[in-house]
Amino acid sequence: MTRAYDAIRLQRAVTKDGRKISLQLNAGLLVDLPQIELSGADGIGLFRTEFQFMVSEFMPKLAEQTELYRQALEAAGDRPVTFRTLDLGGDKILPYMDPVPEENPAIGWRAIRIALDRPGLMRYQLRALIAAGAKRNLRVMFPMVATVDEFVEARALFDIEVKRASKLGQDLPHKIEIGVMLETPSLAWQINAICDHADFVSVGANDLMQFFFAADRDNARVADRYDPLHPAALSIMKFISDGCRKNGKSAAVCGAMASRPLEAITLIALGYDSLSMPVTGIGPVKSAVLALDAEKLRARIAPLITLQSRLSTVRDEVKAFCMEE
Ligand code: PEP
Ligand code: MG
């Protein structure tokens, strides 16, 4: 957080028309934790647990995992922390695990797919999360879920670990919420079914956009070819937020899209109330939120987000809106 945003650090992010927006941090390592206080973030919306595994020489032991999660919860105090279970494979490779050569690692054996095929590693991690969350609120979400069955299976593993901890007489979390990262287009088309099983939904917009436009996020030639403010992208984002609302579930966004002010206010206009981002985004996004009339922006862009739209982006319209306000 730079000096420029000091004055609004402790101010709540509320739009001019009264929508309370939760601005949270993306984190993953101990060094990130002081940023909660420094930035005035409302919590950690995405704790990337694989970072600890990626910076370690050996697989982190149960006690080491538990300690990191405990410190994250401690640093956040009353604010929520959403832990994402290991998102390995794809762009995230461990030096001490045998690489599995794949033609298309981003759509290969990664994240929840590894966890369900080799449940030992995830059960171990869930054990650490449950221990760290003792007598606190614990929020956990699963990455790269493509079908409701995968989520149900992963949630069942969590339940087994809760029962185990209880049998051993351990203190349990006061409250447990198990959510899903929505980052595959297929899951968007199961929105009602996933809301029946998940306690919350967080859109991983980096991967969702990569798969939606079939454009590799790590390939500089195509990564920026499609604008996430394309009407097609916004219509799937709106479809997800409407679906969550209809089913009484909160919808958050935790991809890089949430950290850019124009994108962030557009997401808010589409119905999202919770955005998680790198620390550098908190000040600029909060400042944009404070200046936003979300209903006005919604009405302005709604006619452009249609299946007939020929626009390649609504960015100019959102910019013009900001200039006029
Ligand atoms: C995402 O996919 O949008 C996301 C937040 O997760 P990651 O960038 O770690 O894949
Ligand atoms: Mg992702």
Closest ligand, as measured to the CA of 144: 2
Tell me which long-range contacts 14-17 makes (C-beta under 8 A, separation of at least 24): 14/289, 14/290, 15/268, 15/289, 15/290, 15/292, 15/293, 15/294, 16/290, 16/291, 16/292, 16/293, 17/292, 17/293, 17/294, 17/295, 17/296
Q: Is the CB of 50 under 6 A from ligand 1?
A: no
CA-CA distance, 214 to 208, in Å (whole number)?
Answer: 10
Q: What number does the ligand 1 atom closest to the CA of 206 have?
A: 3
* Predicted confidence (pLDDT) at residue 288 exceeds the cutoff of 60: yes
Tell me, in angstroms, the distance from the centre of ligand 1 to residue 206's CA. 5
Taking residues 37-44, what's their average pLDDT? Answer: 96
Q: Is the CB of 254 under 6 A from ligand 1?
A: yes
Taking residues 281-294, what's their average pLDDT? Answer: 98
Closest ligand, as measured to the CA of 253: 1
* Predicted confidence (pLDDT) at residue 1 exceeds the cutoff of 60: no
Tell me, in angstroms, the distance from the centre of ligand 1 to residue 49's CA. 12
Q: Is the CB of 127 under 6 A from ligand 1?
A: no
pLDDT tens digits for range 232-260: 999 999 999 999 999 999 999 998 999 99
State percent of the chain over pLDDT 70. 99
Q: Is the CB of 217 under 6 A from ligand 1?
A: no
DSSP type of residue 303: G
Q: Is the CB of 87 under 6 A from ligand 1?
A: yes
CA-CA distance, 144 to 138, in Å (whole number)?
Answer: 20
pTM over 0.90: yes
* Predicted confidence (pLDDT) at residue 102 exceeds the cutoff of 60: yes
**Buried b vs exposed e over 152-168: b needs ≥16 C-beta within 10 Å?**
ebbbebbeebbeebeee
Residue from 203, 207, 260, 275 to probe ligand 1 pocket by mutation (most atoms less than 8 Å from CB):
207
Q: What number does the ligand 1 atom closest to the CA of 48 have?
A: 9
Q: What number does the ligand 1 atom closest to the CA of 276 have?
A: 5
State percent of the chain over pLDDT 90. 91
* Predicted confidence (pLDDT) at residue 105 exceeds the cutoff of 80: yes
Tell me, in angstroms, the distance from the centre of ligand 1 to residue 203's CA. 9
Q: Is the CB of 112 under 6 A from ligand 1?
A: no
